[in-house]
Structure 1
């Protein structure tokens, strides 16, 4: 019959026509996976930490031995200097054994798209900042007392030094680069005040002493300030800009620490012992303890009680 043939032909035509809307599968979008970097010390860095740890320990023993060879009135600088290397020894022992180390994570983003491209996990030796917060005030106290600086200036110098160290620690663990460089700037301002107190007021204070003392203070204070100027430079290229790796940071700080503590200590104490006649002598409580004059004794109190 004609009708079935027409229906069959129409069905074939409809099936042969392409669909009006073709649905193509959506392309699979794979986001870029950020590169993750881990910056930590190698065997070279660990060996450097151990070497400095041993040097600080041996220097401490030498300074304590030198302290016993001088009268207690002349022993203040020996005690301060020995404490400096003792704290440094403990700090380097902590770092060499894997303690006192934290990880600071830095996220690097592409500027326009704000896409994370890198994640950097870098070791930060926070024990180093604990060391500096204790040793650098003692070192400043050595220099200030040797120059005869007044108490107000000594206090200002030490507080500025603590601020400098703490802002460096905050900068090392800052959340972003801008915040870190802000803390770094505050630390540099505090350091400039230290330079003023030690370099200007210290020289003025020592000007009334003999020529040998003035020359020595000028040399050792300049030596110290030059070394201390190199510390923020190392921070800037290491923790700050991450141009230098962790090993380079360890080696750089190790060289400065050895120069600023054991070498400084031997130079100060050996010169101090040679200048024993003109070096300051401390009496009173430091040498003799609390005086018994004007104090109450147990026997006196009991005796008066019996008389009453």
Structure 2
């Protein structure tokens, strides 16, 4: 009888598979984290507004700016926690195969939380304004810092939606350059402006600015391993940003307002339109107390 032999070599497929698809989405940990931070931002906002009512209207500038920061952050996190402000961005990668098989494509769809960028585009200029007013920075320097900040956030958003590595990392570089402009204006020029303040104010500004920019330096690192290289999971991205956002907003705000309220010499006074409406000349005085 003839013996049949089975072949040990698999036949070469005549029909190649289409592109494989991978979805990177938030899991239960990410969703719970968004809700927790949403609640923290909401409670912080109520506390900051309450602190504002404890001081005269003309002394509430820092309180209102800081309360606005956590209010916008609350709205952003509420949007993300409820499934708004999110969409998918696709990236293609060519996968090489052995045994002479042709290359195939792998398409990765990753969730991008664009509501986060909307939040940052509003809250980070307000945060910078807090620091600039504390230092007594000039209006020209404040304007440059805020414009550079908006450019940094927008270029970061463009980078998140880059169609290829050239676009993505090109926008990322521009965002980093804008960040360096912010550091120069607020840290370098701000330190020079703060030299005209009393010793306690100078030390407080140096500590608060150092704390802020240490946190801000971590943000682009997280972006690089999350939206950029897509190494970190979406849950890890959410957790990392959540910790930074809580430190950079509620913790920053609490530190600023408690210390500021104990330092009467740094309390800005806004008269005219701010407290009395039209018909009075508005003025801002930072670092002077009202004199009888």
Match of 1:123 in 2: 111
Q: Report the structure number with the largest CA radius of gyration.
A: 1
What is the number of residues matched between the two proteins? 268
Match of 2:198 in 1: 210
Instruction: State yes or no: 1:31 paired with 2:24.
Output: no
Match of 2:5 in 1: none
88, 92, 97: which one aligns with 2:77: 92
Equivalence map 1:169-180=2 (5 Å)? 169-180=157-168
Distance 1:288 1:182 in 2: 49
Structure 1 residue runs of 5 or longer lacking an equivalent are 1-26, 294-308
Equivalence map 1:185-224=2 (5 Å)? 185-224=173-212
Match of 1:134 in 2: 122
Compute the displacement of 1:289 (Å).
Answer: 1.9
CA contact (8 A) 1:107 1:116 kept: no
State the TM-score, normalizing by the size of structure 1.
0.84
**Cα RMSD after superposing both structures:** 1.8
Can you list the C-alpha shifts for 1:159-205, whole angstroms capped at 9, x where unaligned?
00000000111111111122100000000000000000011000000
Match of 1:47 in 2: 32
Equivalence map 1:91-170=2 (5 Å)? 91-110=76-95, 115-170=103-158
Moved runs in structure 1, 4+ residues, more than 3 A? 110-116
Distance 1:71 1:100 in 2: 37
Structure 1 residues 214 and 122 mapped into 2: Cα distance closer, same or farther (>3 Å)?
same
State the TM-score, normalizing by the size of structure 2.
0.88
Structure 1 residues 128 and 289 mapped into 2: Cα distance closer, same or farther (>3 Å)?
same
Structure 2 residue runs of 5 or longer lacking an equivalent are 1-11, 282-292
CA contact (8 A) 1:157 1:197 kept: yes
Distance 2:94 2:275 in 1: 61
Distance 1:59 1:198 in 2: 25
Distance 2:18 2:96 in 1: 16
